[in-house]
Amino acid sequence: MSLIKSCGFVRALLKNKDLKSLIEKDIKLIDKKLDEYLIGSNPKELWQAMRYTALLEGKRLRPILALESTRICGADHLEKVIPSACAIEMIHAYSLIHDDLPSMDNDDFRRGKPSNHKAFGEAVAVLAGDALNSYVYQMIIEHTPKTLKPEVLLNVINIISKASGPNGIVGGQVADILAEGKDFDENTYNYICEYKTAGLFEVAMKIGAVITEASKEKFEALSNYGKLIGIAFQIADDILDITSTQKVIGKTPGKDLQSGKATYPIVFGVEKSIKRVNALCKEAIGSIKSKNIDSALLLKIAEEIITKVSNNDS
């Protein structure tokens, strides 16, 4: 079993014009800030390789969720969350670089361009991933406005570090690798979904609540939304791998089936998978509604996942 990152589904999802219009400004903001934070001079080749993947055209959904979570809890704190939001995107980029390596998924392309090791060689790709992984903490500390309390920033760093390491993405990726060639185990699939994919969605929602010092109840509701939506994304992406066309998801469909990888829809069928995605998204909506959280974007994301998957109109 090996899960595909949910980039294909994000791409399909954001074809919806209402959703796109809700986030267009934020995409531009994040792109501008990523570009600004990733300026380094030496060694030139290393910074080029780091920028190559981190600045690949993307929908920036994870950092945008961090902005939205901050807006929900206290919009005047927005400046304070931007470096941490960009850190999440950089960690996502580092994980993509290492996932694509020949010793991992051995993918030659990423978002329609040669993967990092194809463009810069394997050694520099490993190191570009390492560099992004280390750099985020320096970047957060140096770029976050000093008006944010140091103890709050430590909490943010702790959340990001935990979600990135053995108790997060890396743990999920190892579980994913170890599950390959074994019989499908639903608990393991859930573990991988939760840590490898949903982790950064969850972190994005958490840090908005932490930076604004929101109530514990709000923190939990937003965090829960991120986790549920993240898992729904992964299953939706796995469904699309079976039902969609290359044009829609920007990569070869049917890759899981061809390679004999076991995913949720392959094992339980598309119908049961759609039902699970629906249930996850409805639970995510319920989580925020129960705390009277009013966010057009969070609602639209959950609803659009349901629509996209149910109608299979991708």
* Residue 243: burial class (beta carbons within 10 Å; 0-12, 13-18, 19+): middle
Shortest separation between residue 133's beta carbon and a copy of itself, angstroms: 5
Whole-angstrom Cα distance, residue 8 to residue 51?
A: 21
CB 196 within 8 A of CB 3: yes
Query: Which residue, 183 or 247, is less far from a copy of itself as judged by CB?
Result: 183
Note whether 259 binds a copy of itself by CB under 8 A: no
Q: Please provide the distance, in angstroms rounded to a whole number, between the alpha carbons at the two ends of the chain.
A: 24
Query: Which residue, 72 or 210, is less far from a copy of itself as judged by CB?
Result: 210
Q: Using CA of residue 4, residue 47, residue 165, residue 26, what is the dihedral sign?
A: negative
Query: Which residue, 79 or 122, is less far from a copy of itself as judged by CB?
Result: 122
Which three-class secondary structure state does DSSP give residue 14? coil
CB 110 within 8 A of CB 56: yes
- Token digits of residue 207: 């840090």
Query: Which residue, 43 or 181, is less far from a copy of itself as judged by CB?
Result: 43
Note whether 150 binds a copy of itself by CB under 8 A: yes
Binding residues among 82-141 for a copy of itself as defined by CB under 8 A: 98, 101, 103-104, 121-124, 126-127, 129-131, 133-138, 141
- Token digits of residue 55: 């600045």
Whole-angstrom Cα distance, residue 124 to residue 38?
A: 17
Query: Which residue, 38 or 229, is less far from a copy of itself as judged by CB?
Result: 38
At a CB cut-off of 8 Å and minimum separation 6, what does 87 contact?
Answer: 136, 137, 139, 140, 160
Binding residues among 164-223 for a copy of itself as defined by CB under 8 A: 164-171, 173-175, 177-178, 191
Note whether 244 binds a copy of itself by CB under 8 A: no
Q: Which of 32, 43, 181, 294 binds a copy of itself (CB under 8 A)?
A: 43
- Applying CB under 8 A, what is the total number of residues that bind a copy of itself? 52
- Token digits of residue 198: 């949903």
Shortest separation between residue 162's beta carbon and a copy of itself, angstroms: 5
Whole-angstrom Cα distance, residue 245 to residue 312?
A: 11
Which three-class secondary structure state does DSSP give residue 145? coil
The residues binding a copy of itself (CB under 8 A) are 40, 42-43, 45-47, 50, 98, 101, 103-104, 121-124, 126-127, 129-131, 133-138, 141-142, 149-151, 153-154, 157-158, 160-162, 164-171, 173-175, 177-178, 191
